[in-house]
Structure 1
Amino acid sequence: MTSLGFLYPEGTAADDYVRVEQLLGGGIRLHAVRAAPASVDASDPAAAAPDGPGPALTAVPVPPDGERLAPAVEELRLAGAEALVWAGPGFALRQEGAHAQVRALALAAGLPASSTSFAFAHAVRELGAERLAVAPVYGPELTERFARFLTAESGARVVSAPSATGAPAPADGLTALTELARAADVPEATAVLLPGTPLRTAAHLTALEQHLGKPVLTANQVTVWEALRLTDRRVNAPRLGALFTREPLVQMPADRPPPR
């Protein structure tokens, strides 16, 4: 049995993890715990990476630390979690800030750790996608930071990244998700990304890929895949999209553990 831990801020579609666990089949348990996050102003030079201050942003949730993190971590440890992923917009702290955030989380939890932002970058590399379309779920400032983060961490090029206008509309259901993805998709894109952990996408991944004719990566999907990656697990689950149908690059003998 492989147990995976997730910390998420308010607003995340945590019920998506239940659906993903069902689609993964037996042998894997997903434990999602809401953590009351701290908030930082991502335009604060002390919080952002040193590539210059960016446009002012609203407060960005970051994992709680120290004593405030302990109850959530203890709950995940009791559940046997082998890895921990923060389901939050670490990219908003820029590249260096996102790395520091994950290092602090790993140190506090004593577990391999990552975040949804790195999950997207690693998933893009896994698929070999070179040109990305990013659906409009963020305002202009966050959209720009996400695109820059993806380019820096994955090496792919963002060819389309429209910004959301006004308050984001709910995008539950296949029709709404398809419209959201098509708002960004362009012929040259080799994958479409739907960031934003409030989006409930687990039940619609294969349909989205059929509609668009290319791989689709969504926030909760890649977050779970990243936790599996941290534990060296590969799971063939076609209903979770192309990302979950990839074979390991090297087939290891059954009696030999995969390299870390």
Structure 2
Amino acid sequence: MSTVAILYPGHSAEDEFKQLETLIPDARFPVIHTWEGSTDHDVDALLKLGSPELLTPPAAEARSLGADSAIWACTSGSFVYGWEGCHEQAEWIRSASGAPSSSTSLAFAAAVHELGATRVSIAATYPADVASHFVKFLEHDGITVTALSTYGVPSGEDAGLLGPEWVLDTARAADITGAECLLVPDTALHTLAVLPELEDALGIPVLTANQVTAWQGLKLAGHPTTSDGLGALFRGR
């Protein structure tokens, strides 16, 4: 049994990690909440969410659980720190948890490379100014963003209320011309139930936040990363 500690801000789509336990044999994804307030999609607020003051105590809790890996499950609260800052966050968590650590943003970059892709389209819940940081983050790792759609959803709590039809409509509306996969960042968004339908509709792999978070956590824990119903990433190349 592998334990992947999920450091999660606020309350929105954390139930997806319990769902993952039913899809992936011998894996646990205990959620440790890092923040109980609003998770606004605002750069200053996101920098606070990803600070060592808020991440270190829950990472220490992950140590008490005997976690095999620990992941900061917040895309925007990691990419706003930039490429180097994301790695610093992972080190804060690793030091406190005693386990291999990462974040959702780093997981997205790793997942794109796992698929052998270099060109991606993004459909983001965030306002444009927040989403632009994700584009810069990916480009730092040699990933070309062919198109970016933004929807100005004010907070993670608001994103958590969006249903599967919103996710499907947003993905279908994305400009995927020249893209090898579509990225749908935001761990507050429920996407797991529609992953197969998304990929069938678009004809290319789709990477979503909680999916890549779990995948990266499993890899760091040395656990198999294959499962039915979780898209091309979990089928391997």
Bin the TM-score by the shorter chain: 0.7 to 0.9
1:199 to 184, 189, 203: 189
Which whole-Å CA distance do the structure 2 matches of 1:228 and 1:193 have between them? 20
Q: Cα distance, 1:203 vs. partner?
A: 1.3
1:235 CA displacement: 2.8
Q: Which moved more, 1:82-91 or 1:178-187?
A: 178-187
Cα displacement (A) at 1:12? 4.1
Contact 1:65 1:105 in 2 (8 A): no
Q: Distance in 1 between matches of 2:63 and 2:43?
A: 34
CA contact (8 A) 1:86 1:114 kept: yes
Partners in 2 of 1:12 and 1:120 — Cα distance? 20
1:64 Cα offset (Å)? 4.6
Quote the RMSD (CA, aligned, Å). 2.4
Q: CA deviation at 1:63?
A: 5.0
Assess if the C-alpha contact under 8 Å between 1:20 and 1:240 holds in 2.
no
For 2:179, the aligned partner's letter is A
Superposed structure 1 runs of 4+ greater than 6 Å apart = none
Match of 2:100 in 1: 112
Q: Residue 66 of structure 2 aligns with which residue?
A: 80
Report if the CA contact (8 A) 1:135-1:181 is conserved.
yes
TM superposition shift of 1:76: 2.8
Q: Offset of 1:110 from its aligned partner? A: 1.5
Distance, in Å, in 2 between the alignment partners of 1:188 and 1:124 is 15
Q: Secondary structure at the match of 2:124?
A: coil
Where 1:162 maps in the other structure, the secondary structure is: strand
Q: 1:217 and 2:204 equivalent?
A: no
Q: How many residues were matched structurally? A: 227
Which protein is richer in helix relative to its size? 2
- TM-score normalized by structure 2? 0.87
Could you say if the C-alpha distance between residues 74 and 101 of structure 1 is closer, same or farther in structure 2, counting changes exceeding 3 Å?
A: closer
- 1:75 is displaced (CA, Å) by 4.0
Correspondence list, 1:63-102, <5 A: 64-65=52-53, 69-70=56-57, 72-88=58-74, 89-102=77-90
Structure 2 distance, partners of 1:144, 1:12, is: 23
Relative contact order (alpha carbons < 8 A, sep ≥ 6): 1 or 2 greater? 2
CA deviation vs aligned residue, 1:173-219 (integer Å, no higher than 9, x gap): 33211111123232211100110111111111111111111100000
Structure 1 pair 2/63, CA: closer, same or farther in 2 (3 Å)?
Answer: farther
Pick the structure with greater CA Rg. 1
Structure 2 residue matching 1:186: 3-state secondary structure: coil
How far does residue 240 in structure 1 lie from its aligned partner after superposition? 0.6
2:10 is matched with: 10
Return the offset for 1:129: 1.6
Any residues of structure 2 matched to 1:1-260 within 5 Å, and which? Answer: 1-24=1-24, 26-36=25-35, 57-60=43-46, 61-62=49-50, 64-65=52-53, 69-70=56-57, 72-88=58-74, 89-153=77-141, 155-165=142-152, 167=154, 170=159, 172-246=162-236
Mapped partners of 2:174, 2:133: distance in 1: 16
Aligned equivalents of 1:12, 1:149: Cα separation in 2: 24
Q: Can you give the 5+ residue segments of structure 1 that lack an aligned partner in the other structure? A: 40-55, 248-260
